[in-house]
Chain A
Amino acid sequence: MVKTRDHGGNLAEARATYGDGDWIDLSTGINRRPYPVPPIPPEAWTALPTSDAYEALTAAAARTYATQPASTLPLAGAQAAIQLYPLLRTPGLARVVTPTYNEHAAALKSQGWTVHEVPTLEDLEGAKIGVVVNPNNPDGTRYSVDDLREAAKSVSLLVVDESFADPHPDLSLAAHASDKILVLRSFGKFYGLAGVRLGFALAGPDTLATLREMAGPWSVSGPALSIGAAALNDTEWQRETTDRLTNDAARLDALAQRCGWSLVGGTALFRTYATPDATQAQHHLATHKIWSRRFPYSKTWLRLGLPDGADWARVEAAMAPEI
C-alpha cells in the first residue's frame, strides 16, 4: 500500500528503528483476538458473489447494528464509504469535528470540498456535510443519540463514523440512519479482521441507491461476504468479546495509571493516555518491542490498542511503575 497519510500500523518503521523481533503492535485499534475465520466454501472464491450471499450478509449486519436490511449497504471497508460520500452532495463547505481520523478531511478535499476542522458538534451548524466520529478516535469523545440527531438538523448531511462503536451499541445512530444521516460501520476493527476489507453504509433508501450505484457490482468479495455473515451472526462471540475488551480496557487503564499516565479517553478497542512526554513513553515501550501511536498535535498523547493473552505479561513488565 502506498502510504500517504499518518496512520497507526506502521510497524515497519518501528522495526527499522528498534530492530526486528517479536513485536506487539498496539499502534492500531484493531482487536488482537480476531473472530475465528470459518471454513470458506470453495464457490466464494471461484464464483462471482451471488445476491443471496449479499442478502445474508446484509441481514446479519442489520440485525447486529439494530437497523433494517433496506438501510444497510455492504462495502469494501468503512474506507470505501469514506471515498464515496463526498459525492453525495455538490462540493461546498464541509465541517469535521477534530481531532479525528484524518481520511475524512482528505476524501472530502480530493473531491473539491472546502473542509473546516471544528472542535465541537455544535460547530458543524451550517455546513453542507458535517462529519463526526462516535466514539471518537483518538480522544474517545462520545456523543449521545439526541445530540447527534439535533446536529443533523443543522447540516444537509451528517456523516457519523461508528468504526469503534461495536462494543458501545448504546451510542449508535444506526436506527436513525436516513437520507440526512449516513452511518458508517467498520467490520475489521471489532472482529480483528482488518484485512478482510468489509464495512457498511447505513442510510435512507435514496442515499443507499446512489452509493450502491457508485460502488458498482460485486463491491465486496465472496470470502468477505462469507466471513462477515458468520461473524455478524455470532451474537455469543460478540457479547464475550465486548465483555473481554471492556475488562481489558480497565486493566490497561490501571497499568497506565500506575506508571503515571492519565486517561485522555478511549473506547473498548483503544485507550489514549496523556503521558509526561509521549516521545519518551513511546521510545520506552519500543525498547520492549511494543509499538504505540503518537499524534502530531500533542506532545503528551499516546494511544494503545488492547493487548491479548500472552501480550499482557510483556506489557505489564514494560509498564512497570516509575518509568
Chain B
Amino acid sequence: MSFATAMLIAIAIDTAIGWPKALFLRIGHPVTWLGWLISSLDARLNSPSAPFTTRKTMGVLAAVLTITLAAAPAWWVQSALPPGWAGTLIIGILAWPLVAVRSMYQHVVAVADPLAAGDLPAARHAVSMIVGRDPALLDAAGIARAATESLAENTGDGIIAPLFWGLVAGLPGIAAYKAINTLDSMIGHRTQRHEAFGWASAKIDDLANWVPARLTGLIFALASAHPVASLKIMRRDARHHRSPNAGWPEAAMAGALAVRLSGPRQYGDHIAQEPWVNANAPDPTARDVTRALALYRRAMFGVAGSMALIALGLAW
C-alpha cells in the first residue's frame, strides 16, 4: 500500500471529473457531512450561559470528537484494506473528494476568461462565486487581485494541505485534516459565540497548515519562471500577512508574478488596512490571472510528479 500512489490516484480522478453534481445531489460531500456533525456539536455543547473556560473546554472536546469521528473510520477502513495495489486504489478513490484540484481551477478560469475578454459583468459574477466581496464594487484590477489571491490561498488549504497529510498518514491523515479545516471555517471565528468554543479549532487549524502553507509557497516558487524572486518575496513578506499561514503561498505567488497582493481591501465600505505583499510591484491585471493559472497548472504537475517519484522511490 502506497500513500503517495493513492494521493496520485486521488489527484488524477479529481482532475478528470471533479466531484460530479449528480453525486453531490445524491450524497452531498464529505465536507457537508462534517458540517452537519460540527453544527450538531455546536448546538449541544456550546452553551451561551456557560462560563468562558467551560466553553473553551467544550470546544476542545468538540474538536477532538470531530477529528476522531472523521479519522477513526478512515483508519479502520485503511487497516481493513487488502495490501498492495487494491488497497492503494481504494484509498485513492476515497481520498478523491477531499482534494479540490479541478474545482479550484474551474472557478478561477471562469473569472480569467471573461476578464481577458473585457466582459466585466461576467467576470464580476464569476469572482463573486469565489470571494464574498460585493462584485459590483470591483473594477478589473480588483477582480484580478481577488481571483489571484484566492487561487494562492486555497491551493494551500484546499489542495496541498490535504495531500500533505494524506501522504504522511494516508486516509486517516487526509480525513483528519478535512475535519480540522472544516472545524476552523465553521466555528474558528472570533465572535462572541465562538471566541471560547472555537479557540481550539482555530489553533489546531493554524498548526495543521503550518507546514503545508510554507510548502505551497515553496512549490509555487519552484514552479515559477522566477524562483529566486518568488522565494525572496516570500521570505520577506509572508510574515506580514493577516493570517499566519495564508501569507506564504500568497507572497510566493506575488513574487513569481511580480505583482502586489493582499493590501488594503475595500469590502463595501469596510476598508481593512492590511499590509501589501510585494508592495512595490503593480496590481495584477487580467493577464496576470492567466499567468497565475499557468503557474497553478505547473505546480500541480510538479506535485503529481513528486508524488510519483516518492511512490517509485518507496517501491524501490
B232 at the interface (CB under 8 A from A): no
Bound CA–CA A297/B38 (angstroms): 21
Residue of B nearest to A274 (CB): B186
Residue of B nearest to A96 (CB): B270
A264 at the interface (CB under 8 A from B): yes
Residue of B nearest to A110 (CB): B269
B185 touches A102 (CB 8 A): no
A128 at the interface (CB under 8 A from B): no
A279 at the interface (CB under 8 A from B): yes
Give the distance to chain B from A163, nearest Cβ to Cβ, in Å.
Answer: 16
> Which residues on the A side are within 8 Å of B191 (C-beta)?
139-141, 264-265
A102 touches B269 (CB 8 A): yes
Bound CA–CA A5/B134 (angstroms): 8
Among A3, A258, A278, which residue has its beta carbon within 8 angstroms of that of B132? A278
B309 at the interface (CB under 8 A from A): no
B97 at the interface (CB under 8 A from A): no
Give the distance to chain B from A101, nearest Cβ to Cβ, in Å.
Answer: 9
Give the distance to chain A from B109, nearest Cβ to Cβ, in Å.
Answer: 16
Among A3, A140, A257, which residue has its beta carbon within 8 angstroms of that of B193? A140
B192 touches A139 (CB 8 A): yes
B182 touches A276 (CB 8 A): yes
B23 at the interface (CB under 8 A from A): no
B270 touches A260 (CB 8 A): no
Among B33, B128, B192, B271, which residue has its beta carbon within 8 angstroms of that of A140? B192
> Which residues on the B side are within 8 Å of A7 (C-beta)?
268
A99 at the interface (CB under 8 A from B): yes
Residue of A nearest to B134 (CB): A6
Residue of B nearest to A115 (CB): B271
Residue of B nearest to A98 (CB): B270
Give the distance to chain B from A27, nearest Cβ to Cβ, in Å.
Answer: 12
B120-164 Cβ-contact flags toward A at 8 Å (1 or 0): 000001001111111011000000000000000000000000000
B28 at the interface (CB under 8 A from A): yes
Bound CA–CA A103/B269 (angstroms): 7
Give the distance to chain A from B288, nearest Cβ to Cβ, in Å.
Answer: 22
Interface residues of B in 181-199 (CB under 8 A from A): 182, 185-187, 189-194
> Which residues on the B side are within 8 Å of A298 (C-beta)?
132, 189
The stretch that binds A, out of B39-47, B76-84, B204-212, B223-231, is B39-47
> Which residues on the B side are within 8 Å of A140 (C-beta)?
191-193
A279 touches B194 (CB 8 A): no
> Which residues on the B side are within 8 Å of A103 (C-beta)?
269
B193 touches A261 (CB 8 A): no
Q: A262-B186, A322-B32 are in contact. Are A99 and B193 (CB under 8 A)?
A: no
Residue of B nearest to A322 (CB): B28
> Which residues on the A side are within 8 Å of B32 (C-beta)?
260, 276, 322-323
The 3 closest A-B pairs by CB, nearest first: A6-B268, A260-B35, A296-B267
CB<8 Å pairs between A and B, sample of 20: A6-B137, A6-B267, A98-B270, A99-B270, A102-B268, A139-B191, A139-B193, A257-B43, A259-B36, A260-B35, A260-B37, A265-B192, A276-B185, A296-B132, A296-B270, A298-B132, A298-B189, A321-B36, A322-B27, A322-B32
Known: A5-B269, A260-B35, A297-B270. 4 other contacts (CB 8 A): A263-B42, A279-B130, A297-B267, A300-B186
